[in-house]
Amino acid sequence: MTTPLGSDVPRVDGRLKVTGAARYSADHSEDHWAGRLAYAHVVLSTVARGSVRSMNVDAARGAPGVLAVYTPFEPLRIYSASRGETYAPLQDRDVRFRGQVIGLVVAETIEQAREAAALVSAEYDTVPARTTLAAGMPGEPVEGDAEFPAQAAPVLAPGVASIDDALRASAVTVDITVTQLPQSHVAMEPHSTTAVWQNDHLTVYSGCQGPANYANTLAERVGVSRDNVRVISPFVGGGFGSRVPTWGDGPLAAVAARALGRPVKLTLTREQAFVLTGHRPLIEQRVRLGASRDGVLNAVSHQCWSEMPVAGGWNEAPAGETTTVLYRTPNLAIEERLVPMDTPATWAMRAPNEAPGMFALETAMDELAVALGMDPVELRLRNDATTVPGSDRGWTSRRLAECYRVGAERFGWADRNPVPGSRIDGEWLVGHGTATAIYPANRSDVPVRLTLRDDGTAVVSTSTPDIGTGTYTMASIVASDALGIPLDRVVAELGDSALPAGTAAVGSRAAGTLAPMIQDAARTLIGEITALAVRTQRSPFHGLDPASLTYREGRVEGNGRAVTFAEIIDMADLPHLEVTTEGGAGGPGGGGAPEGPVAHGFGAHFCEVRVNRFTGEPRVSRFTTVVDVGQVISARTARSQLVGGVVFGIGAALLETNPIEEDSGRFAGANLADYLVAVNADIPPIDVSWIDYADTAFSSAGARGLGELATVGSSAAVGNAVFNATGIRIRDLPITLDKLI
């Protein structure tokens, strides 16, 4: 059998998706609920800060089909979460941001619920809201901790008193400040929850990134035992971070269903999802670099100020974290501040921290290359780190320099003209830019179940969902390879909190975590099927020494006989044979660990931009990315993830922004016509490839994960290309045409 490992096989769930057979969260309207499913709609505050003085719900209560109206004056009890939003909607009259849930209407149909919600009115006592970073400055310093030690104290060379001294002593310096307004996750699938109670057992259908974690938090927020909650999430139309926390809509649907004794479905509109399911925080960063005249870094300072809503959210301040590991420097200081604001809760989005952080650092590196008169690829190679600055820890594997060499060749970097504005093609100015991709690789030993069935198929089972990334395909390929059976005889069963926990689909860790665990389960299962073969009376191998038998391609072989695992299971009168992995089995583990090598994915981006000389319109015309991620398991879905990352980078550079109106605290964007994501017309063919090898110091599978990697640095490559095209440096994203004329 030819292994599918690393090859370009179609998605195993592709047919289900393109035929519409794959059911996403809002698609669950089971027949046996017919006539019982009720629909909820949320009512949002229209002021950004203050308190609700009074509400009028009479018209809503009297509207057709309405079953119930809940408000802070007549609430349903839910509890606050430890992550995501840190308040609980409807539990008090405080308004923390514009668009906070202040009411919930439940009706017989979705139209009736929405109509009645529009009839609810509220009076407020208002207070001026902090809707800009300036209003919340200077912010709270973030202390270093075990996870982010670099914040604790700067790394300084002997005899250097401070990072400012190190910068002053450097021959060449740059000092830049970059800003980025909020961005929205915009998962394609609407955020929807359907909650069903059977006695005191709650089943929830909700697309989420970690059904096991979601069930834990939902149990807390609803106030029931974890054992009584099951979360089902077989298909997810994109998460990008927005489906990690248990936002208030899920618990509200659950308690409404309990109160009414009926299943309840609550689906957010796009505008509501913008406000209620997190956004990438507004962030401002200052990067200062000091180098010798021949381009050797002497000092790196990275300071971040990040929005931190009082309603809770994600700490984006460690945007400087990857700055602590990318380049060799004797002096390094990271400072991070959280700025309190009266804005909707934030959450991790598509390479949180790293994506904005590397836009800042890699823009500064480009500016340093210009100041030095040095090629920007050469500058990066000259400062490529071999150990983490300030420590002697190396990497499980790090082939960044090879990515740069291969990428430069594929892109034709040698033909670049370093003089900005010097390459003209008709009405277009053409520019070339480069930047580094880097993203942490983490894995841990987690439970995964592998089952051999008497029909000759194998099932790999874990609560980890496929959020569109290709996890069904990846898990099936690993099991097929490890068991030596064809891919079409493997079934992946994912996205259900009742399955062995696996990992949440966060931080690009599903493949890196699951692959070695599936391999480990396969090794154990092969031992067990062999043991079963010698133990079973009806087996031709009965009574033999197991060591005399071999397993190959789904068969146990020995004594000139070969018997399939299906036959052995059948002879033993078993329905199936299964194992669930335990901890400590995945082989060496990089990342996360307090000692030993650290682990990251790496990559080199090369971008060609064309800027219209008359309108200023910027268009990306070519893009090449080469990554170092260790073993690629599923070539097709890996390529899609990497292309998607570049698309996000282009979007962040040129299009994606959701400003908050200063006076109202309202997002400027309410839909996908206001909030621009890159579409096909914005994206040229993207050339992605990888260095082909396995990082066996990271895990037995050698695969480090790659989901978010290409999102990092790609926006800087675009900005650097815009500078090369025009001589104009834009440090405030997105780079729109008005800034280029």
H/E run at residue 439? strand 428-440
Task: Decide if 493 contacts 459 (C-beta within 8 A).
Answer: yes
Nearest to ligand MOS of 485, 712 (CB atom): 712
Q: Is 239 in the site for ligand MOS (CB under 6 A)?
A: yes
Catalytic pick among 316, 321, 656, 708: 708
**Location of structure tokens 């959020």:** 467
Using alpha carbons, select from 482, 485, 654, 481 the residue that is nearest to residue 579: 482
Helices (H) and strands (E) in the chain, counts: 17, 28
604 DSSP β-pair partners: 436, 626
When asked if residue 244 is in the footprint of ligand MOS (CB under 6 A), the reply is yes
**CA 223 to each of CA 206, 247, 497, 647, 719: distance values in angstroms, whole numbers, following the listed order:** 18, 15, 18, 41, 49
Q: Do residues 496 and 231 lie in contact, with contact meaning Cβ atoms separated by under 8 Å? A: yes
**Does residue 348 interact with ligand MOS by CB under 6 A?**
yes
Name the phi and psi angles at 729, rounded to 5.
-100, 115
- Judged by beta carbon, residue 295 or residue 465, the one nearer ligand MOS is 465
Residue (352 or 558) nearer to ligand MOS, CB: 352
Q: Which of 275, 280, 282, 277 is nearest to 337 (CA)?
A: 282
User: For residues 280 and 399, which CB has a smaller minimum distance to ligand MOS in the complex?
Assistant: 280
How far is Cα 485 from Cα 11, in angstroms, rounded to an integer?
A: 17
Nearest-angstrom CA–CA distance, 706 and 689: 12
Under the binding rule (CB under 6 A), the answer on residue 709 touching ligand MOS is no
Shortest reach from residue 244's CB to ligand MOS, in Å: 5
With binding defined as CB under 6 A, does residue 241 bind ligand MOS?
Answer: yes
**Which runs of consecutive H residues, i.e. helices, occur in 412-484?**
471-483
The answer to the question of residue 209 lying near ligand MOS (CB under 6 A) is: yes
Smallest gap, in angstroms, from Cβ of residue 508 to ligand MOS?
7
Judged by beta carbon, residue 207 or residue 239, the one nearer ligand MOS is: 239
Choose one: 284-292, 345-353, 578-586, 590-598; the region binding ligand MOS (CB under 6 A). 345-353
* Contact (CB, 8 A) for 224 and 155: no
Cβ proximity to ligand MOS: between 9 and 652 the closer is 652
Query: What's the CA gap between 610 and 737, in Å, rounded?
Result: 12
Q: Hey, how many other C-beta atoms are within 10 angstroms of the C-beta on 271?
A: 17
Q: Nearer to ligand MOS by C-beta: 442 or 536?
A: 442
Provide the minimum distance between the beta carbon of 445 and ligand MOS in the complex, in angstroms, as a whole number: 20
Closest residue to ligand MOS in the complex (CB): 241
Task: Candidates 85-93, 111-119, 343-351, 537-545: pick the segment binding ligand MOS (CB under 6 A).
Answer: 343-351
What's the angle, vertex CA 104, arms to CA 100 and CA 108, rounded to 5?
A: 150
- What track of x and - describes contact with ligand MOS for positions 45 through 74 (by CB under 6 A)? ------------------------------
Would you list the DSSP string of 24-44? Answer: -GGG---GGGTTT-EEEEEEE
Q: How far is the CB of 275 from ligand MOS (least distance, A)?
A: 18
Phi first, then psi, for residue 56 (nearest 5°) are: -115, 115
**Piece of the chain touching ligand MOS by CB under 6 A; list 51-59, 135-143, 349-357, 439-447:** 349-357
Binding part of the chain for ligand MOS, among 171-179, 234-242, 286-294, 331-339 by CB under 6 A, reads 234-242
Q: How many residues make up the chain in this entry?
A: 741
Q: Using the rule CB under 6 A, is 352 a contact of ligand MOS? A: yes
In the three-class reduction of DSSP (H, G, I as helix; E, B as strand; rest coil), residue 702 is classed as coil
| Binding residues for ligand MOS restricted to 246-285, rule: CB under 6 A | none
Q: Which 366-395 residues touch ligand MOS, going by CB under 6 A? A: none
**Does residue 651 interact with ligand MOS by CB under 6 A?**
no
Per CB under 6 A, the segment of 264-272, 344-352, 610-618, 688-696 that binds ligand MOS is 344-352
Report CA-CA distances (Å) from 218 to 14, 26, 212.
31, 18, 10
CB of 510 to ligand MOS, least distance (A): 10
Residue from 350, 399, 432, 555 binding ligand MOS (CB under 6 A)? 350
Q: Which stretch binds ligand MOS (CB under 6 A): 214-222, 233-241, 254-262, 631-639?
A: 233-241
404/63 Cα distance (integer angstroms): 64
- Smallest distance from the beta carbon of 547 to ligand MOS, in angstroms? 45
Q: How far is the CB of 513 from ligand MOS (least distance, A)?
A: 13
> According to CB under 6 A, which one of 349, 360, 365, 569 is a site residue for ligand MOS?
349
Q: How far is CA 209 from the centre of its chain?
A: 9
Task: State which amino acid sits at residue 326.
Answer: L
The CB-of-314 to ligand MOS minimum distance in angstroms stands at: 9
The CB-of-184 to ligand MOS minimum distance in angstroms stands at 13
Cβ 242 to ligand MOS shortest distance, Å: 8
Contacts of 34 (CB under 8 A, 6+ apart): none
For ligand MOS, give the closer residue by CB, 277 or 436: 277
Q: Which helix (H) or strand (E) holds 729?
A: none
Shortest Cβ 341–ligand MOS spacing (Å): 20
Give the distance, in angstroms, between the CA of residue 439 and the centroid of all CA atoms in the same chain: 11
- Of 240, 295, 296, 230, which Cα lies nearest the Cα of 273? 240
- Which of 163, 506, 521, 568 contacts ligand MOS by CB under 6 A? 506
507: contact with ligand MOS by CB under 6 A = yes
What token pair was written down for 509? 């860790």
Active-site residue flag, 402: no
CB closer to ligand MOS, 89 vs 507: 507
User: Cα–chain-centroid distance for residue 519?
Assistant: 25
Q: For ligand MOS, how many residues bind (rule: CB under 6 A)?
A: 11
Q: Which residues contact 244 (CB under 8 A, 6 or more apart)?
A: 83, 84, 208, 209, 210, 213, 347, 348, 504, 506
Residue 508 or 720 having the CB closest to ligand MOS: 508
Stretch that binds ligand MOS, among 235-243, 366-374, 477-485, 491-499 (CB under 6 A): 235-243
Shortest distance, position 349 Cβ to ligand MOS, whole Å: 5
Nearer to ligand MOS, 356 or 507 (CB): 507
Asked whether position 237 contacts ligand MOS by CB under 6 A, the answer is no
Q: Please choose, out of 239-247, 457-465, 476-484, 580-588, the segment that lies near ligand MOS by the rule CB under 6 A.
A: 239-247
Is residue 210 within the footprint of ligand MOS (CB under 6 A)?
A: no
Q: Is 368 helix (H, G, I), strand (E, B) or coil?
A: helix
Of 240 and 395, nearer to ligand MOS (C-beta) is 240
Q: Which residue has the tokens 């009028």?
A: 56
Q: Residue 167: in which H helix or E strand, if any? A: helix 163-168
Closest CA to 675 of 695, 660, 694, 696: 660
Residue type, 633: I
Per the structure block, which two tokens stand in for 547? 């060591």
Annotated active-site positions, please? 708
Which residues bind to ligand MOS, rule: CB under 6 A?
209, 239-241, 244, 348-350, 352, 506-507
